[in-house]
Structure 1
Amino acid sequence: MANILVVDDELGIRDLLSEILNDEGHTVDLAENAMQARAARQSHHYDLVLLDIWMPDTDGVSLLKEWATAGQLTMPVIMMSGHATIDTAVEATRIGAQSFLEKPITLQKLLKAVEQGLARSAAHDAKTAPRGAAGGAPGVPAVPGDALQGAAPAGIDVALDDGPQSHQDFDLDRPLREARDAFEKAYFEFHLVREGGSMTRVAEKTGLERTHLYRKLRQLGVELGRKRNG
């Protein structure tokens, strides 16, 4: 999935956005002011930035303009605010912001804006990336089949010829509830792997409402989200 930077001086907003985006399988870094955002931007590559407008040291529009002037606006930026005027939103868009989210931010609007921003980021990367090996898509390295199988959770085999297939070896000599929980955990882990950690797609595939899915995964002890390596 994607590397995303969330910049907001409100702890509650940072935690909420981080939890939602982590549940979607993204890697999320947090900054509470422009100084931390600058340091993060210099240290890491981000596919998307969620940037609050009103911050105590440097406001988000000024930071956006700073990145644009320095040629560092290489990723989509989504502006956020609960008090911004139409003029402010228009100015941010003119400078180079991808879109604007008004607080309080709803789950649906957040995920839609992030999806659109990442699509733009992917299109930009596809234009600038070198062509891959013969037979591969531009900029996409070939992945060995055994590497894909190694990504599947224990007890599940991924068949590359016909798409993901599951194979479970369960101990049936135990109480029904324990056996059922083991099956359900393997089932959801399998779909999380196949859908790249996207809770939205897993909810669609399994036919569960997202809130019910979150609750079910936590009940089964399925770990959500990803952490940056290194």
Structure 2
Amino acid sequence: MATILVVDDEMGIRALLSEILSDEGHTIELAENAAQARATRERLRPDLVLLDIWMPDVDGITLLKEWGATGQLNMPVIMMSGHGTIDTAVEATKYGAIAFLEKPITLQKLLRAVEQALARTPSKPPAAAPVSLMSAPQPMLGAGHGDVLMTVESAMTGGMGLPVMPADLGPQSEQSFDLDRPLREARDAFEKSYFEFHLARENGSMTRVAEKTGLERTHLYRKLKQLGVDLSRNRRGGAA
């Protein structure tokens, strides 16, 4: 697995990218401005840099040009921006970026861009490449917070106590739910146990849980946080 430096002045973007890429088994380092990015790059020599263009001190294009001019562009760089254009993408690749991700970034395009970047020969500085302007249909990273999932709502409408096998009790135990309470509370309790069960069964692998439950992984992360599921308890070191 790789060491990836994420440079972005938005704390939410840094946290989300870090969580997703860590779950893929990568080691993630974070920087919120160009000064921190320079220091971290010099200290760690990362295998890949995800670099935001619009930052308050020095913008990402300027930092990219600086690394190229000083012979420090010996790792692939993927540029990110929420206000990018074709001209911006062309300029980024002109100065050595290998891809351009337009925010909000889809999970699939993020992982594909990272995989393709890491597949490049690490000893060669990235040259100008065909522009990869990755626009973002739903669902999106960094999008709004209004997308609440009702993934198992239909399972709660039968009017009967539903047997569920949560992670705490193991596969041989069952939990009956008290349905004498508001529907939302009953549904949330069921969903929490549902996801805890699948996380335990899949040894904390978010990829396999997403496939098993039929959810896109960005929405799965949000749903688990919304329900208060403890991801660290079930996660294997570097589980994919």
For the aligned pair, the TM-score class normalised by the smaller chain equals 0.5 to 0.7
CA positional deviation for 1:208: 5.7
1:176 equivalent among 159, 164, 173: 173
Alignment TM-score, normalising by the size of structure 2 = 0.59
2:202 equivalent among 182, 188, 195: 188
- The separation in 2 between residues aligned to 1:225 and 1:88, in whole angstroms, is 38
Change (3 A) 1:185 1:60: closer
- The separation in 2 between residues aligned to 1:58 and 1:30, in whole angstroms, is 16
- The separation in 2 between residues aligned to 1:48 and 1:71, in whole angstroms, is 16
Contact kept in structure 1, 2:6 and 2:31, CA below 8 Å: yes
- The separation in 1 between residues aligned to 2:209 and 2:172, in whole angstroms, is 28
- The separation in 1 between residues aligned to 2:197 and 2:20, in whole angstroms, is 26
Aligned partner of 1:101 in structure 2 is 101
Task: Tell whether 2:235 aligns with 1:223.
Answer: yes
- The separation in 2 between residues aligned to 1:185 and 1:39, in whole angstroms, is 37
- The separation in 1 between residues aligned to 2:198 and 2:91, in whole angstroms, is 49
CA positional deviation for 1:91: 1.1
Task: Tell whether 2:87 aligns with 1:87.
Answer: yes
Point out which structure has higher relative CO (alpha carbons under 8 A, 6+ apart). 1
Aligned partner of 2:78 in structure 1 is 78
Contact kept in structure 1, 2:200 and 2:234, CA below 8 Å: no
CA positional deviation for 1:33: 0.3
- The separation in 2 between residues aligned to 1:224 and 1:20, in whole angstroms, is 14
1:134-145 alignment, distance < 5 Å = none
Q: Which moves more between the two structures, 27-36 or 106-115?
A: 106-115
Change (3 A) 1:219 1:61: closer
Identity of aligned pairs, percent? 65
- The separation in 2 between residues aligned to 1:124 and 1:26, in whole angstroms, is 16
In structure 1, list runs of 5 or more residues that go unmatched. 128-173, 193-198
CA positional deviation for 1:223: 2.1
CA positional deviation for 1:21: 1.0
- The separation in 2 between residues aligned to 1:37 and 1:7, in whole angstroms, is 6
The code of the aligned residue for 1:124 comes to: P
The code of the aligned residue for 1:188 comes to: E
Give the alignment's Cα RMSD to 1 decimal: 3.5
Question: Aligned pair count?
Answer: 170
The code of the aligned residue for 1:112 comes to: R
- The separation in 1 between residues aligned to 2:96 and 2:74, in whole angstroms, is 10
Say which SS state the counterpart of residue 124 (structure 1) adopts.
coil
The code of the aligned residue for 1:47 comes to: D
CA positional deviation for 1:69: 1.0
CA positional deviation for 1:68: 0.8
- The separation in 2 between residues aligned to 1:52 and 1:46, in whole angstroms, is 16
Task: Tell whether 2:45 aligns with 1:66.
Answer: no
The code of the aligned residue for 2:28 comes to: V
- The separation in 1 between residues aligned to 2:50 and 2:22, in whole angstroms, is 14
CA positional deviation for 1:185: 6.5
Say which SS state the counterpart of residue 90 (structure 1) adopts.
helix
Say which SS state the counterpart of residue 79 (structure 2) adopts.
strand
Q: Answer 1 or 2: which has greater helix percent.
A: 1
Contact kept in structure 1, 2:51 and 2:60, CA below 8 Å: yes
Contact kept in structure 1, 2:4 and 2:47, CA below 8 Å: yes
CA positional deviation for 1:176: 2.5
CA positional deviation for 1:12: 1.3
Contact kept in structure 1, 2:50 and 2:80, CA below 8 Å: yes
Task: Tell whether 2:122 aligns with 1:124.
Answer: yes
The code of the aligned residue for 1:92 comes to: A
Say which SS state the counterpart of residue 51 (structure 1) adopts.
strand
